[in-house]
Structure 1
Amino acid sequence: MNLVGYVRVSTEEQAREGVSLGQQTERLKAYCALHGHVLVDGYSDEGVSASMPVAKRPGGRLMLEALKGKDVQGVVVVRLDRLFRDALDGLTFFRHADRTGATVHSISELIDSSTPAGKLSLTIQLAAAQYERDLAVQRATECSVSMRESGRVYGTVPYGCIAVGEGDARRLMRQPFTWGWRRTIVEDLAAGVSLRTLRAELLERGIPSPTGRRVWSLNTLRELRTHHASLASLPMADVDHVATISTAATEAGVSAHV
């Protein structure tokens, strides 16, 4: 069977694990030699995250084009996560593959989708990988909510809040000058006001975005609803305290809230 190889690394992986494109390519050659396949070509993406769908990666796009040819029957990878970011990305690939008859060979998972058993195994692997990613996202979200409900600083300081204290004693409080605008924005969105209308109103009133820009990002406005209820229970900082922190932030060249 004529196969094309596909290899991918992100910069983070190279630094952490030393997984190079060359190492992956050598494994693909060894696999093809062992199983009697011919590696007719190879495609690569360096410094490309798995979060990008394969069809949008430079090397991935060329690989998909190669699979449309009559002389190529499939693609071989070291691991499935070299190809697919999630189950949906994998299923989209197979919708394309069904039209061309292309197969997937994964060395680590011992998968050959040219057989019914191999296609079943591949589908199960994709579903399991998606399940693990969903669990990780859920755990991270629950951790974020729990920490913010207790007033602990987690990641960036939400708009309408301010971080008070130092080190482990650093806690979130509501910022009296901006919390009112956060509440108004959330209430307007809940009432059905469109994001673009709300952005125009904020611009007209001269209310700067969390980054200090005159025009708000639509994504920023949309995200303000996230965890808003958990932040509402935080204590309100007093005006003098906020003024002190704001002055220190200005002198340091940073924003007191983001």
Structure 2
Amino acid sequence: MLIGYARVSSTGQDLTVQEGALRAAGCDQIYSEKKSGRQATDREALRDAIKAARAGDIVVVSRLDRFARSTQDLHNLLATLEAKGVGFRCLAQSGVDTTTPTGKLTLSILGAVAAFETDLRAERQAEGIARAKQEGRYKGRSPSIDYSTVRRLHGQGLRPTEIAGLLGIGRTSVYRALASQ
């Protein structure tokens, strides 16, 4: 049986295209969700799709980034599927199909290239920051908490827990702001 999984990151996005592609590919069941892909453990529909899959089934996605957001995440998910005797197929990257030896090789190569690109991006970012610091242009991240507002609210008699709730920040941040007076 082919089991489809579709995901978009935000409620403003639409699942129609992915679900249509999965139906056209012959998926008998489709699990869909509107959820950030940062952590696979937070995606209920993905967990349900993997739980529903039985030995000999294949989990199908439209694109690899809809399934996993990192190489580690991808390998963990694939290991879970493999342990159950379940295959994996990606429609957009047609060579990615763990039910074939060539598909397994393609997936490994793509994973290595993705990891390499991530490392290169991190190096370029670090070089850019170092150069900006040398030239005095690097300011860092702008403050996300207005310490004067924290102090003003505290001066009005609000407790740190109340201030934290009102401003949507952690209580530790409130104490840090108060200590910086």
- Write the distance in 2 (CA, Å) between the matches of 1:104 and 1:212: 44
The gaps in structure 1 that reach 5 residues or longer are: 15-19, 33-38, 159-210, 217-254
Q: Is the 8 A contact 2:78 2:88 kept in 1?
A: no
Q: In structure 2, which of residues 43, 62, 66 is the aligned counterpart of residue 57 of structure 1?
A: 43
Q: Does 1:22 align with 2:6?
A: no
CA apart distance, 1:26: 0.4
> Structure 1 116/155 Cα, relative in aligned 2: closer, same or farther at 3 Å?
same
Residues 199-229 of structure 1 show CA distances to partners (whole Å, capped at 9, x for unaligned) of xxxxxxxxxxxx963259xxxxxxxxxxxxx
Aligned to 1:79: 63
Mapped contact 1:75–1:102 kept (Cα < 8 A): yes
Task: Please name the residue that 2:5 is paired with.
Answer: 6
Pick from 94, 100, 103: which aligns with 1:118? 103
C-alpha distance in 1, partners of 2:121/2:34?
25
Amino acid aligned to 1:27: A
1:168-204 alpha-carbon deviations (Å, 9 max, x no partner): xxxxxxxxxxxxxxxxxxxxxxxxxxxxxxxxxxxxx
TM-score with structure 2 length normalisation?
0.71
Larger radius of gyration: 1
Contact 1:55/1:64 (<8 A) preserved: no
Q: Which residue of 1 aligns with 2:28?
A: 40
CA positional deviation for 1:94: 2.2
Partner residue of 1:138 out of 116, 119, 123: 123
Correspondences of 1:93-242 after superposition (within 5 Å): 93-110=77-94, 111-157=96-142, 213-215=174-176
Q: Secondary structure at the match of 1:44?
A: strand
Once superposed, what is the RMSD of the aligned Cα atoms? 2.6
Assess if the C-alpha contact under 8 Å between 2:35 and 2:43 holds in 1.
no
- Does structure 2 conserve the Cα–Cα contact (< 8 Å) formed by 1:144 and 1:154? no
**Poorly superposed stretches of 4+, deviation over 6 Å:** none
- Deviation track 1:83-105 (CA, whole Å, cap 9, x = no partner) reads 11111111112221221111111
Matched residues, percent identical?
Answer: 32
Q: Which amino acid aligns with 1:23?
A: V
Secondary structure, in 3 states, of the residue corresponding to 1:65? helix
User: How many residue pairs were aligned?
Assistant: 149
